């Protein structure tokens, strides 16, 4: 009796080992982001055929998170991209502007947008799309908390992605991270544009490149990390942002604004 039970237990352990080894880091193809620190933490880059979650730190950082997702999608490759967006997300953080999308170095010709009426329809569409290996990646954009996106749903997405090799990017705004089967989870906020050299005339100052403060809070096969990256629109990769002065404290409320701006520039210089 005992030995039979032990055998059964050993069998089960073997099964679990086999299942777990399937998701081994070596099995997944990876694509480098270009940012040395992040690539090292990710053991070579972002895993393909897996699910990655990107959270906006607060809803006002939704565009930064969108930019990060767009950058990841571009790194994954130039294959058709399906962007599934919930209608409410479009009302809250705006629709994707294809001119801006083009300027980030992505190809609007490869983009197919699905406007889903609600989170449930969006999830179902994404699960369907992740099984279609003609796509490079599927972006699923969901606004706010939803009970449909639980562990079971994310497991389904992960399995579909693994089966087809299509990468799933989950863009969440105004939501708190929940347990999921994602390969990585990022929290993104906007960061200041790189400072200009002191004394540069205003019309020579080039600023406005997408600089993002990213925190890797979950990584199944490596350490977490915190980096400030700049998306290089021309080279189409992430780079370490040049000096990135963040204000130590919020600007004083009693001081007039232009003075604060000058003070900030002086500090930066």
Partner 1 sequence: MFDADAAADAQTLDHVAAWCDRFTPLVALDSPDGLLLDITGCAHLFGGEVALLQMLCTALAAQGFAVSAAIASTAVCARTISRARHGRIVADGDEAAAVAPLPVATLGADAAITSGLRRAGLKTIGDVAARARHEITARFGAGFTTLLEQALGQGDAPISPKQPLPDYIVEKRFAEPVATDGVIAATLTSLACMLVAAMDRQGKGARRLQASFFRTDGAVRSIAVDTGQPVTKAEVIDRLFRERLDAIADPLDPGFGFDLIRLSASRTEIVVQQQRDLGAHIHDNDELSALIDRIAARLGDRRVVVHLPQDTHIPERAVLAVSAQQHLGHAAQAVWQTRVADEPPLRPLRLFEHPEPIQVIAGVPDGPPAQFRWRRATHAVVRAEGPERVAMEWWRAEGVTLTRDYFRVEDEAGLRFWLYRDGLYGSEVMPAAGQPNWFMHGLFA
Binders in 206-265 for partner 1, by CB under 8 A: 206-213, 231, 233-234, 246-247, 250-251, 257-258, 260-261, 264
Would strands 81-86 and 111-116 be described as parallel, antiparallel, or unpaired? parallel
Residue 85 contacts residue 141 (beta carbons within 8 Å) = yes
Closer CB to partner 1, 26 or 203, in the complex: 203
CB of 245 to partner 1, least distance (A): 10
Q: How far is the CB of 92 from partner 1 (least distance, A)?
A: 10
10 Å Cβ neighbour count for 262? Answer: 10
**Total residues interacting with partner 1, rule: CB under 8 A:** 72
Specify whether the CB–CB gap between 72 and 139 falls below 8 A: no
- What Å distances lie between residue 131 and 49, 141, 156, 158, 165, CA to CA? 10, 18, 10, 10, 8
* Distance in angstroms (rounded) separating the CA atoms of residues 215 and 66: 15
Shortest distance, position 132 Cβ to partner 1, whole Å: 5
Q: Rounded to 5 degrees, what are φ and ψ at 29?
A: -75, 145
Could you say which residues in the range 131-150 bind partner 1, by CB under 8 A? 132-135
Helix (H), strand (E) at residue 266: helix 257-268
Residue nearer to partner 1 on the CB measure, 96 or 153: 96
Does residue 35 interact with partner 1 by CB under 8 A? no
Question: Is residue 199 close enough to count as binding partner 1 by CB under 8 A?
Answer: no
Residue-wise over 18-40: b if at least 16 C-beta within 10 A, else e? eeeeebeeeebebbebbbebbbe
Nearer to partner 1, 119 or 180 (CB): 119
Q: Which is nearer to partner 1, 13 or 91 (CB)?
A: 91
Question: Whole-number minimum distance, CB 32 to partner 1, in Å?
Answer: 20
How many CA atoms are closer than 13 Å to the CA of 263, on its beta-carbon side?
13
125 binds partner 1 (CB under 8 A): yes
Name which of 115 and 148 has its Cβ closer to partner 1.
115
Give yes or no for residue 120 binding partner 1 (CB under 8 A): no
Residues 47 to 106: which contact partner 1 by CB under 8 A? 60-64, 66-68, 70, 79-80, 82, 90-91, 93-105
Q: What's the min distance (Å) between Cβ of 13 and partner 1? A: 39
Least gap, CB of 180 to partner 1 (angstroms) = 24
Question: Quick one: 100 exposed, middle or buried, by C-beta within 10 A (0-12, 13-18, 19+)?
Answer: middle
């Amino acid at each position: 009796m005992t030995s039979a039970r032990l055998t059964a237990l050993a069998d089960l352990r073997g099964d679990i080992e086999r299942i777990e080894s399937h998701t081994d880091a070596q099995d997944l193809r990876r694509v480098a982001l270009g940012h040395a620190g992040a690539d090292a933490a990710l053991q070579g880059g972002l895993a393909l055929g897996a699910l990655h979650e990107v959270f906006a730190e607060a809803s006002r950082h939704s565009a930064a998170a969108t930019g990060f997702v767009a950058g990841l999608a571009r790194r994954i490759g130039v294959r058709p991209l399906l962007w599934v967006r919930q209608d409410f997300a479009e009302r809250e953080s705006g629709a994707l502007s294809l001119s801006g999308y083009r300027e980030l170095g992505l190809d609007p010709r490869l983009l197919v947008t699905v406007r889903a009426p609600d989170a449930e329809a969006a999830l179902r569409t994404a699960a369907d799309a992740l099984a279609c290996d003609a796509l490079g990646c599927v972006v699923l954009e969901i606004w706010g908390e939803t009970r449909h996106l639980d562990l079971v749903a994310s497991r389904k997405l992960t399995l579909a992605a693994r089966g087809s090799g299509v990468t799933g990017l989950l863009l969440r705004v105004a939501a708190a991270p929940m347990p999921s089967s994602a390969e990585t989870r990022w929290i993104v906020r906007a960061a200041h544009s790189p400072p200009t050299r002191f004394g540069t005339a205003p019309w020579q100052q080039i600023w406005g490149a997408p600089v993002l403060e990213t925190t890797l809070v979950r990584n199944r096969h490596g350490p977490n990390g915190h980096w400030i990256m700049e998306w290089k629109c021309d080279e189409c990769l992430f780079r370490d942002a040049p000096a990135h002065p963040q204000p130590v404290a919020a600007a004083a409320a009693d001081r007039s604004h232009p003075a604060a701006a000058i003070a900030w520039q002086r500090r930066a210089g």
